[in-house]
Structure 1
Amino acid sequence: MTKAEFCGLTLKDIDLEKRTINVNHQLQYVGNKGKYIEKTKTEAGTRVLPMSDEVYAAFKRVVQNRKKPKVEEMIDGYTGFLFLDRRGKPMMPYQWEKRFQHTVEKYNKIYRVQLPKITPHVCRHTFCTNAAKRGISVETLKYLMGHTDISVTSNVYTHLKLEDAQR
């Protein structure tokens, strides 16, 4: 999912019983407009994602450990945002990007083997590539990624090499 879709997730979007994530909106921020919710970029972006065991465990922890803010901020009718900043406000996509950057920098100060620049968008590409390597069909990946055009999935997000084809 995109960082705007991720930041827009609310408690209502996570169904731990069915192990699904409902993606139908994204949280945006523009200086002169402020915070707002908009639909996913395309109709294909509106989707229900299944949770793997690892994703289920992670979201279960996030839901259980989410601190209830003093005041639940409402943005365009949406409340209960899953990811909050230190002040208890919904985390904006640019803040999520900064958190990633800070984590990589912190890691690189401690360990000799350095991590490259990692962003949420790089993780999106990595997910798609690794799923393709595991044999998930391009059609399924197109759905999971929320793409309208299968060529975007196969030509832009999937980075396979000759060695991958030889396996």
Structure 2
Amino acid sequence: MKIRADCGIIGNPQQKNITVLALVKRYLKTKTGTKPQKKSNYRFVVNILKNEPFSGKKIGAIKTSDAKLFLIKLQSDGRGYSTVKTVRGVLRPAFQMAVDDDIIVKNPFGFQLAGVVVNDSKTREAISRDQMRKFLKFIHDDNTYCKYYEAL
């Protein structure tokens, strides 16, 4: 253990040398009892990170600007806002774990996502207004389903 003169926090200098991918994998090991869909999302993020040079960087060298530039790069490479948000949703708590373990001083992903990447996602409607009118008219006029019209 070594005492850092800048803030007096005791930390292990070797732990700062672990990569982003290794940190994420370590963080995911702490996530026990997760549902299958959540585990699938975690695997999705790990697969994205495996193909990115960013995942090979040492966590002690990552600055907030590096984190922002990485997320911007993901979006400019064609990843959607939802994917970028999912990746950040794993990286942010992983780096927070490193902060809590006194490996790093500050979480480089501790910023608002909206100020960095553009939310290009579109809200989808289940059915259009015209389709809804036709459906309700069918329910109203049908002998079998007309009893449900008031409920709808």
Normalization by structure 1: what TM-score?
0.29
Q: Which has the higher strand share?
A: 1
Q: Which has the higher helix share?
A: 2
TM-score by length of 2: 0.31
